[in-house]
Amino acid sequence: MSTESFRSHTRNLLNHMLDDRSTISRDYLLDVYADRIAQLHAVYAHEMFNQVLDDARIRLDARLSPDPVTQTVANMQTTLQDIWQAFWDDQNQRT
């Protein structure tokens, strides 16, 4: 579930709304499509939250593993993700 996918789904909903505008009242149309976009947002947010929880569970399992190689890999993943997060935050602040 990516931003691009969410954007595409939202765009399709808005396109349908523009097609429906001649047959249905404006207020009703806004309510229906606002509800649909909110539901779509909830689905994407739920999926993203599940991905974050799955990643956290996998990392925790790796860190608690008795195998030192698995622990090292988990530490490297955390370090790389921290570097990526810092880079991403820096890029977002510049725009």
**pLDDT tens string 58-73:** 777 777 777 787 777 7
Q: What is the DSSP letter of 42?
A: H
Q: Which residues are CB-neighbours of 73 under 8 A, at least 6 positions away?
A: 62
Q: What's this model's pTM, rounded to 2 decimal places?
A: 0.55
Q: What is the pLDDT of residue 22?
A: 75
Q: What is the DSSP letter of 1?
A: -
- What average pLDDT does the chain have? 80
Q: What does the alpha-carbon distance between residue 22 and residue 31 come to, in Å, rounded to a whole number?
A: 16
Q: Which of 7-11, 32-36, 62-66, 78-82 has the lowest mean pLDDT?
A: 62-66
Average pLDDT (15-42) is: 84
Domain boundaries, the chain: 3-94
